[in-house]
Chain A
Amino acid sequence: MRVLIIEDDHETASFLKKSLKENGHIANIANDGELGLQLARDENFDVLIVDRMLPKLDGLSAISTLRAEGDQTPVLILSALGDVDDRVTGLRAGGDDYLTKPYAYSELLARIEALARRSQPEESETRFVVGDLVLDRLSHKVTRSDETIVLQPREFRLLEYLMKNAGQVVTRTMLLESVWDYHFDPQTNVIDVHISRLRSKIDRNYEVPLLHTVRGAGYVIRDSDL
């Protein structure tokens, strides 16, 4: 995955670049808005990471310029401003996701990977398959080894989101955002409890576990054989 980091803080930018490299991604850095816009126009990236407050051209203007030019590269906005209103303006300017500073690297990684995936035209897929687990989005049916698993509506959406991002780590806040549409940071382990309920339904009676906990990051659903 090719990532463009538009961030004026050198240390943050090089930390991100190094970390992304460790995860097998290639990152370029632009230290101001104008350079960032230039690079985004000239080269092809899978994801842009854009800081909101930048010298020369602020992040939101850069994003809306790109969008106006028809560039649809997914954008993750990084910002120190984390209020509901700031978030709304960020997404309205054309950002696809919004992360408030300071953040955990694992959160950022999970989000850009999800963004890069989202840009591929899989949204219209009606069936998700992970190992012998099958989720049908039309009939709302879930089967494992051809046995029907009955899920609550919310559990279905949880599993749907995990399977859509199969093989990718999704964080707790990503789950809270996409399944419940709330953006706050829960102080307790609410999401973990929902996951463990889901897990008891899809994994408990089967030999191979599919839903895994990634320590310090979140969850991933994948076929262990891979």
Chain B
Amino acid sequence: MTAISKALGTAAFRLTLVYLLIFMIIAGAVIGYMFWRTNNLLTEQVMQTVGAEVKGLREQFSVGGVALLEQTVERRALRPGNNLYLLTNSQGVRLAGNLNRVPPRLVEKPSGGVFEYTRLGYEGAQRRMAVGSVLGVSGGALLIVARDIEDQRNFTSGSRRIFLWSFALLALVGVGGGVMISRHILARIEKVNETAQTIISGDFSGRIPITGADDELDRLSESLNRMLTRIEQLMSGLKEVSDNIAHDLKTPLSRMRNRVEGALREGGGEDDYREVLERTIEESDELIKTFNALLSIARLEAGAVGKSFQSVSLSDILRDVGELYEPLVDDGGMKLQLHVEDGVQILGDRQLLGQAMANLFENALKYGVSGGCPDKKGQSMIADISVKLDVVNSEARISVSDRGPGIPEGDRARALKRFVRLEDSRSQPGSGLGLSLVAAVARLHGGDVVLEDARPGLRVVLSFPIEDKSAHS
């Protein structure tokens, strides 16, 4: 019962009711008009027949006078059917016909109309309805010709009753259908509600079931589910950040604090203090860098930056950054090879892309090794760091390869995550945020990062959708 009363209160049910009401008003008006027109039409038709007969009888009268008229009327009145006649003399006495009296309604309105009558010899029986007209014959005599329309009336009122019942049935079915539809929709909305409740209570894994009907409710559910997935990702990102902060920022902070505390406790000369302070500044600078990187990644992943992308030349950025790092690569005794395709444009942010590429160079510098093996012909050395930009399948692809130890296949997905520093690299300085920043920048630009085996070494492949020039006016 509560389910029904709940369904009665829904918007869907109210809409059904309003629809039904409008439908019934319009249908009622149309059908009512139809009845009225039909009735009029039938009456007019009867009047025409009556008119024709009156004309015929008048001819009889003009040929044979009252006597022939009387004879004809008497004969016709005896025929079974709906025809009604009455011929009276000037005193109003019946001469012939099957009507018992002159209908008063007709006397008032000689042009003709509807009246009630009783058939001669059927006095006391129910009065019936007829349509007819009066004709004045010579010397005050009256001739009334009419047709019974009681059957027509009965038929009309019968069909009116049928229509009314159908209307009642329609209303009943409509209301019932409204309740059913409302309950159906209500049940599905209740599912959405339940999912929302689970999520409010803290379980983010809940999703709205899809019925497979592929209707607007399904589409709404799908959108909501996608939204939930996105929120879940952001939430877990946030959680990860706070976990990371707890671990990777607190550790150096407590190290710093311990050092300062130790210096205070032990005393010592100005030089000792100075040394501790200098190290503290160095370490806090490192912390700041880590913190900045962490914040940037979090904001990049939340999509909070880069709303104002512009058309930028990936070729120029890569060349710039390559030129920036080339001396450093040289100094490390390595060889840099840069293959950049010209005029590769994407929609993006120059600063972020530049930083991502700088991170790739720094990574290659950090983990790559110098003095790579000679190539197969033994003629020249294969570049220690090789950087390439080309367009493959309308995607701009940047690959940066080094000749270092690479990353085992199983660790590659993990290496893109924040603070993940694979065991081999623990000894190297760095925050472990370089590649995850690259990944965040790539994703913000609608691109992707893949780590591959450069045999030997690591190849980082960044792909970006290139700018669709046709979509750009």
Q: Which residues of A contact B (CB under 8 A)?
A: 82-85, 88, 100, 102, 104, 154, 180-190, 193-194, 197
Would you give 30 A-B contacts (Cβ < 8 Å), ordered by A? A82-B292, A82-B296, A83-B296, A83-B299, A84-B349, A84-B351, A84-B352, A100-B292, A102-B288, A104-B281, A104-B285, A180-B324, A182-B321, A182-B351, A182-B355, A183-B351, A184-B358, A185-B289, A186-B358, A186-B362, A187-B289, A188-B328, A188-B365, A188-B366, A190-B324, A190-B325, A193-B328, A193-B331, A194-B324, A194-B327
- CB-CB under 8 A from A104, the residues of chain B are 281, 285
Complex interface bits, B344-385 against A, C-beta within 8 A gives 1, otherwise 0? 000001111011001100100110000000000000000000
Cα A181 to Cα B323 with chains together (Å): 13
- CB-CB under 8 A from A193, the residues of chain B are 327-328, 331
Cα A188 to Cα B361 with chains together (Å): 10
Q: Which residues of B contact A (CB under 8 A)?
A: 281, 284-285, 288-289, 292, 295-296, 299, 304-308, 320-321, 323-325, 327-328, 331, 349-352, 354-355, 358-359, 362, 365-366, 430, 434
**Known contacts A186-B358, A187-B362; 16 further A-B pairs (Cβ under 8 A):** A83-B296, A84-B305, A84-B349, A84-B351, A85-B307, A85-B308, A100-B292, A102-B284, A154-B323, A182-B324, A182-B351, A188-B362, A189-B328, A193-B327, A194-B324, A197-B327
Q: Is the interface of A mostly helix, strand, loop or mixed?
A: loop
Given A83-B299, A100-B292, A184 contacting B324 (CB threshold 8 A): no
- CB-CB under 8 A from B327, the residues of chain A are 190, 193-194, 197
Q: How close is B107's CB to chain A, nearest CB, in angstroms? A: 98
Cα A10 to Cα B430 with chains together (Å): 34
Cα A84 to Cα B296 with chains together (Å): 9
Across the interface, name the chain B residue whose C-beta is closest to A176.
Answer: B324
- CB-CB under 8 A from A189, the residues of chain B are 328
Q: How close is B102's CB to chain A, nearest CB, in angstroms? A: 102
Q: Is the interface of B mostly helix, strand, loop or mixed?
A: helix
Whether the pair A84, B306 counts as a contact (CB closer than 8 A) is yes
- CB-CB under 8 A from A194, the residues of chain B are 324, 327
Q: How close is A46's CB to chain B, nearest CB, in angstroms? A: 28
Q: How close is B272's CB to chain A, nearest CB, in angstroms? A: 19
- CB-CB under 8 A from B281, the residues of chain A are 104
Whether the pair A187, B434 counts as a contact (CB closer than 8 A) is yes
Across the interface, name the chain A residue whose C-beta is closest to B325.
Answer: A190
Across the interface, name the chain B residue whose C-beta is closest to A195.
Answer: B327
- CB-CB under 8 A from B308, the residues of chain A are 85, 88
Cα A189 to Cα B362 with chains together (Å): 10
Q: How close is A33's CB to chain B, nearest CB, in angstroms? A: 25
Cα A223 to Cα B362 with chains together (Å): 35
Cα A180 to Cα B322 with chains together (Å): 11
Which of B320, B349, B351 has the largest number of chain A CB atoms within 10 A?
B351
Cα A194 to Cα B292 with chains together (Å): 25
Cα A84 to Cα B349 with chains together (Å): 8
Q: How close is B412's CB to chain A, nearest CB, in angstroms? A: 22
Given A185-B289, A187-B362, A83 contacting B355 (CB threshold 8 A): no
Q: How close is A146's CB to chain B, nearest CB, in angstroms? A: 28
Cα A154 to Cα B320 with chains together (Å): 10
Whether the pair A184, B430 counts as a contact (CB closer than 8 A) is no
Cα A182 to Cα B299 with chains together (Å): 19
Q: How close is A178's CB to chain B, nearest CB, in angstroms? A: 13
Cα A102 to Cα B308 with chains together (Å): 26
Q: How close is B110's CB to chain A, nearest CB, in angstroms? A: 96
Across the interface, name the chain A residue whose C-beta is closest to B285.
Answer: A104
Whether the pair B320, A180 counts as a contact (CB closer than 8 A) is yes
- CB-CB under 8 A from B352, the residues of chain A are 84
Q: How close is B336's CB to chain A, nearest CB, in angstroms? A: 13
Q: How close is B420's CB to chain A, nearest CB, in angstroms? A: 17
- CB-CB under 8 A from A180, the residues of chain B are 320, 324
Partner of A83, one of B305, B350, B362, B365: B305
Whether the pair B362, A85 counts as a contact (CB closer than 8 A) is no
Cα A94 to Cα B106 with chains together (Å): 101
Which 5 pairs, one residue from A and one from B, show the smallest C-beta to C-beta distance?
A: A184-B355, A193-B327, A84-B351, A182-B354, A193-B328
Across the interface, name the chain B residue whose C-beta is closest to A84.
Answer: B351
- CB-CB under 8 A from B434, the residues of chain A are 187
- CB-CB under 8 A from A154, the residues of chain B are 323
- CB-CB under 8 A from A187, the residues of chain B are 289, 359, 362, 430, 434
Cα A104 to Cα B285 with chains together (Å): 8
